[in-house]
A and B are shown apart, each in its own frame.
Chain A
Amino acid sequence: MLRLFIISKEEAFHICDKSQYRESTIWEKLKLSFRYLWCRATRLYVNRNTKLTKTLKSSNLECLEYSERKLMEDRLNEQLKNQV
């Protein structure tokens, strides 16, 4: 039974990454929590990753959509051509 809960460190990191985007399942979270209890590396990774997510959320970061970026690029290239 206990074997079902045992995952590798790499798998734990992967689940942790997915959890930051709410893409992990409850079962995966359970397995991660179990490893978190006894693995120092997992604890470090989870804490650091969670801290990064909180920081990113609190920053309200914005960036351009792909289409907006493309439009800007086309206009700049047009202007560059005219300048040459």
Chain B
Amino acid sequence: MPNHQINPNRWIELYSDYLFNYTISRVNDREIAKDIIQDTFFAGLKSMKNFKGEASERTWLISILKRKIIDYYRKINSKKGQAEVRMTYNTDENEGDWLEERVEDMTYLNAQDILENTELGDAIYDCMSKLSERQATVFKMKTILNYETETICNELNITPSNLWVIIHRARIALAECMEKNWFKS
């Protein structure tokens, strides 16, 4: 008997941000991350009949997403030759530029740092998934997207005092959840 149900009508609401954060930390490009997630949802729709309900819907989507990310890296690896041809660092004008670009490149960060950051992001999203939809929306707009209070109030048609009550409750719930699931481990 399957324990989990599948409902694609709620995928965007429930999983899009989680999947986006998961993907962007692995591909480092917003546009590519969005494309990969869209592909994941389409692939999920196509293979819905294979969903047995043994794992949660999110775990199932993540397994599809992981394959999509691997496909993406395979694809860019096969284009490696082309990329090398495009490099023009040896002209006089560009001399030295490569060093600055390498310094800015995120892929040169310590691998351990990246792994910890990714895990931390996953843990925060796990905790955020326990908030009510309203709380999660306001919290994301205020804390992650850094929207002005006024903008959020106008967009969601709430008063500033409503907003701060929602933020307060969301922060308490998140702090408790992170205390249990992240800081203690």
0/1 string, B5-22, CB within 8 A of A gives 1: 000110110001100110
Nearest residue (CB) in A for B161 is: A14
What's the least CB distance linking A40 to chain B, in Å?
A: 17
In the bound complex, what is the Cα–Cα distance between A55 and B171 (angstroms)? 12
In the bound complex, what is the Cα–Cα distance between A61 and B143 (angstroms)? 9
Find out whether the CB atom of A59 lies under 8 angstroms from the CB atom of B121: yes
Find out whether the CB atom of B144 lies under 8 angstroms from the CB atom of A61: yes
Tell whether A76 pairs with B12 under 8 Å between CB atoms, given A21-B142, A23-B149, A56-B143: yes
Interface size on B, residues (CB 8 A): 41
Find out whether the CB atom of A63 lies under 8 angstroms from the CB atom of B41: no
In the bound complex, what is the Cα–Cα distance between A46 and B94 (angstroms)? 50
Q: Is the interface of A mostly helix, strand, loop or mixed?
A: helix
Q: Say which residue of B8, B46, B117, B175 sits within 8 Å of A76 (CB atoms).
A: B8
In the bound complex, what is the Cα–Cα distance between A73 and B17 (angstroms)? 12
Give residues 12-36 of B contacting A (CB, 8 Å): 12, 16-17, 20-21, 24-25, 30, 34
What's the least CB distance linking A53 to chain B, in Å?
A: 8
What's the least CB distance linking A56 to chain B, in Å?
A: 6
Find out whether the CB atom of A17 lies under 8 angstroms from the CB atom of B175: no
Find out whether the CB atom of B120 lies under 8 angstroms from the CB atom of A55: yes
A residues near B178, Cβ cutoff 8 Å: 52, 55
Nearest residue (CB) in B for A56 is: B143
A residues near B34, Cβ cutoff 8 Å: 64, 68, 72
In the bound complex, what is the Cα–Cα distance between A64 and B144 (angstroms)? 10
Q: Say which residue of B9, B125, B142, B171 sits within 8 Å of A49 (CB atoms).
A: B171
- 15 more contacts with CB within 8 A, not counting A13-B168, A79-B45, are A18-B164, A48-B179, A52-B174, A52-B178, A56-B124, A56-B144, A58-B117, A60-B117, A60-B121, A63-B21, A64-B16, A66-B141, A76-B12, A76-B42, A76-B45
A-B contact pairs, 13 of them (CB 8 A): A17-B171, A21-B143, A49-B171, A52-B175, A55-B178, A61-B124, A62-B30, A63-B20, A72-B16, A75-B38, A76-B41, A76-B42, A79-B45
